[in-house]
Amino acid sequence: MLKKFLIPLLICMNTPSFAVSYDPSNKINQLALTMALLKQNYIDSMSDNDIAEKAIRGLLNQLDPHSDYLDINDFSTLNDATNAQVTGIGVEVTIQDGILKVVAPLDNSPAALAGIKNGDLITHVNGAVVFDIGFNEAIAQIKGKEGSKVKITIVRPGQNKPITFDITRKQIKAPTVRSEMLSDDIVYLRISYFGMPTALEVKKQLASIMKKNKNISGLIIDLRNNPGGVLESAIEVSDLFLDKKTMKYQGVIASAKERNLNVTQEFKAKSEDMTDGLPIAIIINSGSASGAEIMAGAFKDHGRATIIGERSFGKGSIQTVLPLSDTSAIKITTGLYYTPSGKVVQQSGIDPDIVSPKLVAAEANLTTKIRESDYLKSIGSNQDNIQKPASIKDSQLIEKFGIEIYQAIQTLTNTQKGLLCH
């Protein structure tokens, strides 16, 4: 009988006394009592501030994967990410059922070079189960000091066994823009993240390429594994390729509806198309999120580009940072983003016009005859009954950039032929 009554007895002995009557049905009273009990009885001594901070973090983490408490270090990390400077392994994550889900590894980051891919589920960090240590502690352990190592265990859909990576952390100053000529007339533009300088860099690189190459007939914008970034940057980059005079939907690139705003905030094009209507193909995948989805959605609604790949991640919520003090703040979800036609991005994502096959170049036999009909089911041709093998150049292109690039080139080529016919 002693065992049966021991716990209630301890609770009675250690319950703080209140000057006012305690109402057990009042959750605020329960919270205050819980904090007092923790301070008096928890195995490790904690200050009131420590307990309160954990309570705030727990409250915000229960809301959604993106709301969080920011201390001075978290806020500094957020600013570094905004400016495309991060320390760690270089991976964008969200939380799914208590497990970290990889949205995308940054280009040329330790995570990407180690082989971590979008969709991977991080189950352990340095041997500790993520579900046990919590989201914030797992993120803190992943970061660490430059030059130190972290052990990451992931579960990958389609793989029977977990995969463990030993990754060396480093300071990452990720270039957000890269461009090159894929052929004599096709430009490739890779945008890996929307940071503050991204729009200026896109404009600078494209202007340089267009000045050197006078016969450009198409542009491929690669947004695969682009986790988003700064909304204003995504809007500015989109504006470079949209003409406010000819756009539908009153020139809207994206709109935002927040709980405490009576009107919908609209982000509109302000300038003319710097490419003068050059045909565009945008490539997305399940790692394309947030700002990447806003750009792809705008181009799709306005008919400015053909979207190629697979359905995007579906992260279209607005996070607002509200200060609590000079050294702390809360980041909470306050609204949703919509495409120009009014389509909600959150959870739905952006569907491509042309779906790419699930093909990994390293696993494919690149000497096999690759036929347009195999990959371009949405594109008609007068020569559909004629099948030609891909050239060695095509195979090398697929091996380096992926099958989506091949599809994009064929799409732009067909578009150009259509323009010439008309």
Which residues are the active-site residues? 290, 301, 315
Pairing of strands 305-309, 280-284: parallel
Residues 186, 192, 195, 199, Cα dihedral to 10°: 10
Q: Could you tell me if 258 and 334 are in contact, meaning their C-beta atoms sit under 8 angstroms apart?
A: yes
Q: Report the chain's C-alpha Rg in angstroms.
A: 26
C-alpha distance from residue 152 to each of 85, 94, 126, 128, 164 (Å): 21, 15, 6, 10, 6
- Residues 6+ positions from 207 with CB-CB distance below 8 Å: 274
Give every strand in the sheet of 305-309, ordered side by side: 177-181, 186-191, 218-222, 280-284, 305-309, 354-355
Helices (H), 120-273: 130-133, 135-143, 198-212, 231-239
What the block records as the tokens of 328 is 């702390």
The alpha carbon of residue 113 and the mean position of all alpha carbons in its chain are separated, in whole angstroms, by 18
